[in-house]
Amino acid sequence: MESLSSVEKYFYHRSKLGYHSCFFLAVKLYKAPEDGEICNALKQTISKHPQLYSNVSNENGSLALNPLKQPIHFKDVMKGLAEESLSEDVVNRIFQDINFDYGVEKPLWTILVLKDRRTFIFCTDHVIMDGLSAVAFWKSFMSSLNSSQPLEISDDVVYKPNAQNPRVPQHPYDRLPFSLLGFVLRIFVQFLILLTFVKVNLIGTIFAPSLKDKDFKFKDYQFPQGLLTDQGAIRNDNNQVNLHVSPSKLRTLLQNCKKHKLSLTALLPAIIAHSLTSVPDSKIEGSHMRINVPMNTRTMIERIMAIDSKFTQCGNFVKGGELTCDRSQLGQLWQTAAKFGTQLAAQRYDHSSLQLLRLLDLIDVEEYIKTKIGAKYPSSTFEVTNLGYESFSCGEDDAYIVEDAYFNEPQGLSDIFTCSMVATPFGGLNCWFSYPKTLSEDLGIVIYSIQTTLKALSESPSS
C-alpha cells in the first residue's frame, strides 16, 4: 500500500499540529466564466490529478492518500467572497481560517472567488501540493476552460467515486537509492536515537537548527511570542505588501538579468540582502544571512528515476536550498547576485538534501516540529519562492486569458519573512512580501529600498 513519503509526513504533522493552514495561488481572468464552464473545467482537471480527490487516512498506523468515497460537489469547493480585492485583511483571514481536516471525506483544497467573479484563489494543503503543482492545477483548469467540450450545467458533481480511479502513486523520493553519504547519515541518526534512551537528545539540535549568535536576526522578533498567539496558534496577522512590476518593465528587468547571466531567483535575494543594510544596527543582532530558497526537483527526479514528467506534475517535488552572505561584507549588488547564482547552481542537482529528507522517516516528526516551535528563532532570515513566468496555458486567441496571478504563503516556522513571486505575460511580476507586524518599522524601510531598486533596474539597462 502506498504511504506518505517523509516530506509528505512532515507537511501532514505540521498541519495536524496547527502550525500551517494552506498556501494559495490566485489567478485573475480578463472576464468572468459561467458556473457551468467552471464546473466542467473542474471535472476535467480533478480527473487528471488524484491528489485533488484524495485525503489522508490512517490505516493500521500507516498514513496514506486515499481516494474519497463520497462525491465532490461544485459548492463544496467553490466559495464566494464579498471582498473585491486580495487586501491584507483578506490574505490574513485566508491563512487564519482556511485549513483542511484529515481522515474525512473532503478534498484538501478549495477555491475562493472574489466579488468580481474573475479572481479565483486556489487554496491547498501542502501535503498534496507544492507551488508548481498549483501552477499545474491552473494550467489544466485553463486548458479545460478554453476547450470546446460541451457544458454539463445541470450536473454539479465535479468528482464521482469509482474503483477504477487512479490512486496517488508512491512518492519517488521513497525509491531513491541511498548514497554513501545517505548510509553514513542514516547510521549517525540511528546512533542519535539510541542516545535519547539515556536522556541525551541531540536530534532537535541537529535537525531543527535555529539562527545562531552570528546569524542576522531582529531583536524584536523571537519565538514564541512573535509566531504564536496566547492560545498557541500561528498568528497569521502579518503585514502583506505586494511589489508589482509591469510587463514592459519586467522585460527590462529580465534583460538586465540576462546581461549578467543570472536568474531573477538569484537577483531578488540579493536585492533583499542589500536592502537589509538599511536597518539600523541597534535593531539587529548578527550579520550572517541565511536565505531559504525552495528548489524544484522534478527534472532531477525524472532523470534519476527514469519516470515520465506526467508523474511529477502534482505533488511535493521540492528540496531545501540555502543562500548565504554577510551583511557586513556585501559588495556591489550584481556581485552578490552572481554569488547567489553560483550557490544555486551548485545545489540544483545536489542529492544530499534529498538524502536528509529521507532521514525524517527515522525520527519522531511531531517532536521535531515541536522542537522548531520551541526554539528562540527560526532557521533562516528570509525565504524567496519563485514560481516563474507562467502563461497558464493561455494563448492570445483563447476565450479566457489570465490577466494576473498572485502567490502567497502563511507565517511559518522557518523564516522571519517571506517573498513569494510569480509572473505572467499580461500582469507582469508580483512579489508578495509577508512580514510580522512587530517589524513594521524595520522592514517597512527595507520594502521601500527593495521597491526603489526594482524600479531602477526595470526602467533602464544596468551597467
Using alpha carbons only, what angle is made at residue 97 by residues 96 and 102, rounded to the nearest 5 degrees?
110
Residue at which a domain ends, from 116, 146, 172: 172
Cis preceding linkage at 269, omega within 30: no
Residues 243 and 143 both lie in one domain? no
Three-state DSSP state, 352: helix
pLDDT-based confidence at residue 27 (cuts at 50, 70, 90): very high
Q: What value does the CA radius of gyration of the chain take, rounded to a whole number of Å? A: 22
Residues 149 and 260 both lie in one domain? no
Q: List the strands of the sheet with 288-292, edge to edge.
A: 239-245, 428-435, 415-424, 380-389, 288-292, 322-326
Supply the DSSP string of 63-105, one letter for each residue.
EEEEE-SS-EEHHHHEEE-S-SS--HHHHHHHHHH----SSSS
In a domain, 462, yes or no: no
In a domain, 1, yes or no: no
Please give the residue that has the higher pLDDT: either 60 or 94: 94
The whole-angstrom separation of Cα 453 and Cα 446 is: 11
420-434 in b/e burial notation, b at 16+ Cβ within 10 A? bbbbbbebbbbbbbb
Residues 214 and 281 both lie in one domain? yes
Q: Report the chain's terminal Cα–Cα distance, integer Å.
A: 58
pLDDT of residue 460: 79
In a domain, 301, yes or no: yes
pLDDT of residue 357: 81
Residues 252 and 385 both lie in one domain? yes
Residues 80 and 141 both lie in one domain? yes
Cell, residue 291: 536565505
pLDDT-based confidence at residue 390 (cuts at 50, 70, 90): very high
Q: Residue 149 above 90 pLDDT?
A: no
- Averaged pLDDT for residues 417-432: 98
Helix (H) or strand (E) holding 180: helix 180-196
pLDDT of residue 333: 98
CB 21 within 8 A of CB 410: yes
Question: Can you give the pTM of this predicted structure?
Answer: 0.96
The whole-angstrom separation of Cα 125 and Cα 12 is: 9
CATH of the domain at 26: 3.30.559.10
In a domain, 186, yes or no: no
Sign of CA dihedral 346, 347, 348, 350: positive
Please give the residue that has the higher pLDDT: either 180 or 357: 357
Residues 375 and 269 both lie in one domain? yes
Residues 221 and 292 both lie in one domain? yes
Distances (CA, A) of 129 to 7, 133, 273, 316: 11, 5, 29, 5
pLDDT of residue 84: 95
In a domain, 190, yes or no: no
pLDDT of residue 192: 74
Residues 356 and 218 both lie in one domain? yes
Residues 151 and 221 both lie in one domain? no
In a domain, 181, yes or no: no
pLDDT of residue 353: 80
Residues 39 and 100 both lie in one domain? yes
Can you give the residue range of the structural domain that contains 101?
Answer: 6-159+168-172
pLDDT digits (tens, 9 = 90+) for 181-231: 777 777 877 777 776 766 656 666 666 679 999 999 999 999 999 999 999
> For the chain, how many structural domains are there in total?
2
Closest to 117 in 3D by CA, of 76, 157, 89, 82: 82
Backbone angles phi, psi at 226, to 5 degrees: -75, -25
* Side chain identity at residue 223, one-letter code: F
The whole-angstrom separation of Cα 208 and Cα 267 is: 28
Residues 133 and 243 both lie in one domain? no
In a domain, 26, yes or no: yes
Residues 352 and 243 both lie in one domain? yes
Residue at which a domain ends, from 146, 172, 198: 172
Q: How deeply is 248 buried, as exposed, middle or buried, from its count of CB atoms within 10 A (0-12, 13-18, 19+)?
A: exposed
pLDDT-based confidence at residue 155 (cuts at 50, 70, 90): confident
In a domain, 177, yes or no: no
- Averaged pLDDT for residues 436-458: 97
Q: Are strands 380-389 and 288-292 parallel, antiparallel or unpaired?
A: parallel
**Contact partners, residue 122, CB within 8 Å, separation at least 6:** 24, 25, 26, 27, 109, 111, 134, 137, 138
CATH of the domain at 252: 3.30.559.30
Q: Write the Ramachandran bin of 32: left for phi over 0, alpha for psi from -120 to 50, otherwise beta.
A: beta
Q: What is the mean pLDDT of the chain?
A: 93
pLDDT digits (tens, 9 = 90+) for 331-365: 999 999 999 999 999 999 888 888 878 888 888 88
CB 353 within 8 A of CB 317: no
Sign of CA dihedral 357, 361, 363, 368: positive
